[in-house]
Structure 1
């Protein structure tokens, strides 16, 4: 015990310094402006570290990532071809449709101002990923310097990923589907039932549907897609498929299997709606 006291007495200036630093840091973080500055600095520093780690990991996963990207590309081409075949067989295939198919098939998106394309897509790399917590988050290698802002959507080739929650100059953080603090507006197809998708924190491969009407017609295997009503995501972005449901007198519990495997999430697209803030302002005025 005396040895412990001597040790503490000998190094008490150091321990006092650490204690004061912690107190000062808490005071800084608790302030509004200071908290914002600290958050920006933290995300910038953490993003740099995570990006270096991601680059090292990407070297070892390069072959696997290339395989996944090829599979995604082939799947998208198959979907384009299936749509083209269906439209041709139904007699609804117009010259404009032909042009759009050619654009999609060549992986080129036209930036024609006359079309007022509703959504824009920006590729990004996941440099940090959590799936084992209740409030998980992702970090991407894109930031304000790339035109990224809060409330942009994030998707990948398999479906809905999350919403951007914070941005620094070169990086951003994302609240993914696997976060108990967020919900997403979705539709159940083919019935078209509107509801919310929420993760309960139990299983990284499944989520639940909330706020369904008791009269809702639901079947196992039904597709769940984004509703588009949030104006963050386009309509019909895949979210998952109904895997189980149970109707009770006072409850309607529906489980869906998520279309995105978050344990293998490496490449995503940031979704930008150029009219998002205009739409939000109009909504706000409508309820005042």
Structure 2
């Protein structure tokens, strides 16, 4: 304590000068508009510079993550090309020119700009619209698997209904035996859904892979949906209660591909003819 007093007494003139200088600056900046504006502008420039530097670092690491996801996406699409016949990949026109070939499907890349996971009907907003070839009833997939289906489109943007909704189900098949079923979301967890219509005589195992069946004009056959997490045989029933872990992490969506079935109109027209045929009633 004595040392502190000695320090204060010894440096009293300097400390008093600093104190009075601080009071003077406060009075100048508070009661003189010109100096106040100059001070605030300088402070804002310093703050903006700090934020800009921080954002540059954040954006750098974000670009690393985005590039990594694009590499995974390209690898996934190459795999799809090997397993699903007659598919054409249409790259983003900003980066390269599309090559037209005789194909049944094309993929239009898009970025997710909004996404929900906590509602009973969840939606995804994409940065592509009509002028990019996006139309209602086109499927949406990610590098991890199935995502949803396009419902509304404007010139530059589109909205898709996510798998995380109770308004529609997806035609599925088990990878190991091609047995057909359907997938429906229970509005409980964003990583899980229910696999329906699988009877007891079908052999199941933990980790069995669930894929799209191809019995739809929205998704090609063989797109990843998820893996079986658990299954039970309820008393008095004929079908399993099956919980599927979805392969897509809906909280981490960045890039997706919208699937355009080039033969959809022809298929729908033919199916309508069958439905309207009185001999089929």
TM range (shorter): 0.5 to 0.7
Please give the per-residue CA displacement for 1:25-83, whole angstroms capped at 9, x wherever unaligned: xxxxxxxxxxxxxxxxxxxxxxxxxxxxxxxx9x95663464254256258649969x9
Match of 2:68 in 1: 70
Please give the per-residue CA displacement for 1:57-114, whole angstroms capped at 9, x wherever unaligned: 9x95663464254256258649969x99xxxxxxxxxxxx9xx9xxxxxx998522xx
Question: Aligned equivalents of 1:171 and 1:192: distance in 2?
Answer: 36
Question: Aligned equivalents of 2:271 and 2:167: distance in 1?
Answer: 23
Aligned partner of 1:280 among 248, 256, 268: 268
Report the CA distance shift for 1:74/1:200 in structure 2 as closer, same or farther (over 3 A). Answer: closer
**CA positional deviation for 1:221:** 0.7
- Contact kept? 1:125, 1:140, Cα under 8 Å: yes
Question: Aligned equivalents of 1:141 and 1:147: distance in 2?
Answer: 12
Q: What is the TM-score when the length of structure 1 is the normalising length? A: 0.65
Question: Aligned equivalents of 1:276 and 1:79: distance in 2?
Answer: 21
Question: Aligned equivalents of 2:259 and 2:77: distance in 1?
Answer: 20
Question: Aligned equivalents of 1:211 and 1:281: distance in 2?
Answer: 28
Match of 2:100 in 1: 111
- Contact kept? 1:119, 1:271, Cα under 8 Å: yes
- Contact kept? 2:173, 2:210, Cα under 8 Å: yes
Please give the per-residue CA displacement for 1:208-230, whole angstroms capped at 9, x wherever unaligned: 11122332222111101111111
Match of 2:198 in 1: 212
Report the CA distance shift for 1:130/1:77 in structure 2 as closer, same or farther (over 3 A). Answer: closer
Question: Aligned equivalents of 1:131 and 1:198: distance in 2?
Answer: 15
Match of 1:254 in 2: 242
- Contact kept? 1:191, 1:218, Cα under 8 Å: no
RMSD across aligned C-alpha pairs, in angstroms? 3.0
**Residue correspondence of structure 1 range 143-182 to structure 2 within 5 A:** 143-182=129-168
**Residue correspondence of structure 1 range 86-105 to structure 2 within 5 A:** none
- Contact kept? 1:226, 1:235, Cα under 8 Å: yes
Query: Is 1:189 matched with 2:187?
Result: no
5+ residue gaps, structure 2, are 1-54, 88-95, 277-281
Aligned partner of 1:270 among 258, 268, 272: 258
Match of 1:93 in 2: none
The structure carrying a bigger helix percent of its residues is 1
Q: What is the TM-score when the length of structure 2 is the normalising length? A: 0.66
Question: Aligned equivalents of 2:134 and 2:60: distance in 1?
Answer: 26
Query: Is 1:233 matched with 2:219?
Result: yes
- How many residues are treated as equivalent by the alignment? 208
- Contact kept? 2:72, 2:143, Cα under 8 Å: no
Report the CA distance shift for 1:75/1:273 in structure 2 as closer, same or farther (over 3 A). Answer: closer
- Contact kept? 2:138, 2:218, Cα under 8 Å: yes
Match of 2:47 in 1: none
5+ residue gaps, structure 1, are 1-56, 85-96, 101-106
